Amino acid sequence: MVQQEHLSRQLSFVVIGASGDLAVKKIFPALFSLYCRGDMPDTFCCCGFARTDMSHDAFRALLLEHLACRYTPGEQECRALTDAFLKRCFYVSGQYDAPDSFGALARVLAETEKSDMPTRRVFYFSIPPFLFMPTAQSLAQASLSDDIPEKRQCRVVIEKPFGRDRASSDELTRGLAAVFTEEQTYRIDHYLGKEVIQNMMALRFANLVFEPLWNRVNIARVLITWMEDIGVEGRAGYFDAYGILRDVMQNHLLQMLALTAMEEPLSLNPEYVRDEKVKVLRSAAPATLDDIVTGQYVAASYHGTQRKGYLDEDGVPPDSITPTYAAVALKIRNRRWDGIPFLIRAGKGLNDRKTEIRIVFRKVPANIFANSPNPPEANELVIRVQPDPGISLSFMNKKLGMPLSLQKTELKLSYAEVFDEQTPDAYESLILDVIKGDKSLFIRADELAAAWDVFTPVLHALESCTIRPQPYPFGSNGPQSADALAALYKADWR
């Protein structure tokens, strides 16, 4: 029913900000993959809108550079699909705050859509957040945003950053709500589209073995790590205005935390899933200055290449106090997690690229091996998001041979080895969900507010006290005081 309903309506997928990197490298390739997989309705068009003046053909040529046939590798079939897809792509240039420009868009849509068929229109805002409101208003003034019962259904997709703190996020939510209802609004967090993160609910709630242990009695701490070994890569202007806390912690990492810590929803109904995430986020105590370490990378040689420091990046003010690293100890005040630290860290310019959730169990209490040369170590369940997605569980084993002694070993599940299928890109899954109308993986307004509440006080404190982030060399493990923060909770970052 819900599964197939999306194929019975014609679809107009409009990407606003279509000449930008996200649109060209992620959104259109994802639409193309969905087309190759047969997940697009028979009648659809993809329409790009941006300021750059371009013909339909020039736009198609731009898209072509990034389209790949991941699901249909045969060369001939791939070419035929690419041609057929590109024929359904159109382009309109205009100004975001000019309703007239959107009038031109409306005309292109009217020409391509069949008038006797119900339509679904998706407007994907691939634009900086300061353009969200003018664009939404222009869409409304061009009568593009309203649903028409039985005939037309409109949806808008927006992507973080949603404001800079709770107040500015609320203002954006209110402003957009004047044009698009909450029902029409899809707030994307692309981490929720990643396979391993989507698997969190299956891992926790489709298995018997984890849930009875998933609490303060058996778990000592949870560590969530997000590391990149690159700098801000030409995005200094954006990054300096937001910093690592707003760029990835308040969204990607908090979402991972929510999926790790939440209760089992009543069902897979998107509202029930989101209810549980809201509940657990509201249980998280807002971080304070005592719970946080921030850092900023400085120039150093990494893998034989001299790397710039953050302050040397083009577009970064010389006195910037924007953190490129943060480690935070969060506490969840509920019966399941009381007293258990959730240590989360995120940083750019580090010595690895990885994202993982590490559940550290408590040590076995008094036991027969306590006095042996290798006493039992705590079990750890590691959910590896990237690279090499997979899950591993460490446990103690008897070492082969004599005399009896213990060794820590690992049970490993590697996605690459177990699954033959192509892993869909996060944007593919999420865009398909938008088309289908499944909101489980999108952030509801109250969830966004709850996530901001965790970080807003500490962001304000860091900024009003002009707290300088600790320097750390590019290609290192981050500032040393982050190790000290972890040590307070008997933890170490690995």
How far apart are CB 28 and ligand BG6 at their closest, in Å?
A: 17
Catalytic residue among 6, 190, 252, 303: 252
DSSP structural state of residue 311: G
How far apart are CB 476 and ligand BG6 at their closest, in Å?
A: 18
**Alpha carbon 64 to chain centroid, angstroms:** 26
- 270-283 helix and 445-464 helix, angle to the nearest 10 degrees: 30
How far apart are CB 84 and ligand BG6 at their closest, in Å?
A: 29
Of the two residues 90 and 474, which places its CB atom closer to ligand BG6 in the complex? 474
How far apart are CB 281 and ligand BG6 at their closest, in Å?
A: 19
For ligand BG6, how many residues bind (rule: CB under 6 A)?
4
Structure-token pair, residue 169:
């996020």
Provide φ and ψ at 91, rounded to 5°: -140, 140
CB neighbours of residue 343 within 10 Å: 24
Amino acid letter for position 377: E
Structure-token pair, residue 242:
């937001």
d(CA 238, CA 132): 15
356 binds ligand BG6 (CB under 6 A): no
Of the two residues 248 and 330, which places its CB atom closer to ligand BG6 in the complex? 248
How far apart are CB 493 and ligand BG6 at their closest, in Å?
A: 18
Residues 184, 154 contacting (CB under 8 angstroms): yes
How far apart are CB 490 and ligand BG6 at their closest, in Å?
A: 29
The number of residues making up the chain comes to: 494
Question: x-or-dash pattern for ligand BG6, window 222-261, by CB under 6 A?
Answer: ------x------------------xx-------------
Residues 6+ apart with CB under 8 A from 81: 32, 35, 36, 69, 72
Of the two residues 121 and 252, which places its CB atom closer to ligand BG6 in the complex? 252
Is 190 among the catalytic positions? no
d(CA 387, CA 396): 26
Of the two residues 190 and 274, which places its CB atom closer to ligand BG6 in the complex? 190
Of the two residues 113 and 159, which places its CB atom closer to ligand BG6 in the complex? 159
Question: x-or-dash pattern for ligand BG6, window 182-221, by CB under 6 A?
Answer: --------x-------------------------------
Residue with smallest beta-carbon separation from ligand BG6: 247
> Smallest Cα–Cα separation from 345: which of 316, 321, 324?
324
d(CA 453, CA 464): 17
Structure-token pair, residue 303:
């893998």
Residues 344, 494 contacting (CB under 8 angstroms): no
Of the two residues 109 and 256, which places its CB atom closer to ligand BG6 in the complex? 256
Which residues in this chain contact ligand BG6 in the complex, by CB under 6 A?
190, 228, 247-248
Catalytic residues: 252
